[in-house]
Amino acid sequence: MIGEIEASLQQNPNITQELKENFLELINLFHEKFKGVPLENLNNRLKTLTIENLNRYTSNEVSKYDPMTNTLKINEERLKSDVDAKHILMYELLSILTAKDNYTGFNFNHQFEALNIGYTEILTNYLVGNETEEFVHADEIIATNLISISIGNDILLHAYFNNDYMTLTKSLIEAGIEL
């Protein structure tokens, strides 16, 4: 599957060669740690992924992935200066990998937005760490860790990579966590 992903990346004229190489390095790293996670969705999305520049005057964000349009917006100026680019790109790659319709991971209808952000950060930190002094989404990570203790990381992992918000909802209710 990694060979297919590399071919998909190479065929996409919307992505620079440098970004293709960075993505491939991160995909290989992800695949080493999560061999059981299917990569078909990622492969399909990489074929048509578009990249747009975020302007520092219109957005404070470094990056943002839109699953509806399959567009990754990047503030290249900030990406090259004051953040851990590897961390940011892995975070966005996880969003692309788990994208379905108009949401990523288990964040259906923004019901689990903070939990999804926290879990994506936890996975990103596990995979590539974070070299900046700024700890991104600290509150979401803390809350996600507490929820993981209550319902189990296996449930979060399954729900995240399978867009299974229903299993997550059921597990939260069973654990007595109010929604």
pLDDT value for 81: 72
pLDDT value for 136: 72
pLDDT tens by residue, 121-131 = 999 999 998 87
Could you tell me which residue, 163 or 84, shows the higher pLDDT?
A: 163
Report, as an integer, the average pLDDT of 102-119: 91
Domain ranges of the chain: 2-174
Residues whose CB falls within 8 Å of the CB of residue 81, separated by 6 or more in sequence, listed in order: none
Calpha distance 115→11 (Å, rounded): 34
pLDDT value for 120: 95
Q: What's the pTM?
A: 0.91
142 vs 80, 127, 166, CA distance in Å?
28, 18, 22
Cα–Cα nearest to 131, from 78, 92, 88: 88
pLDDT value for 149: 92
Burial 75-85 (b: 16+ CB within 10 A, else e): bbebbeeebbb
pLDDT tens by residue, 28-73 = 999 999 999 999 999 999 999 999 988 777 777 888 999 999 999 9
Report, as an integer, the average pLDDT of 10-29: 94
Least confident of 16-30, 35-49, 135-149: 135-149
Spatial contact of 43 and 1, defined as CB atoms under 8 Å apart: yes
With a cut of 70, say whether residue 179 has pLDDT above it.
Answer: no
pLDDT tens by residue, 72-107 = 998 887 777 767 888 899 999 999 999 998 899 999
Paired residues of 63 in beta bridges: 74
Could you tell me which residue, 23 or 109, shows the higher pLDDT?
A: 23
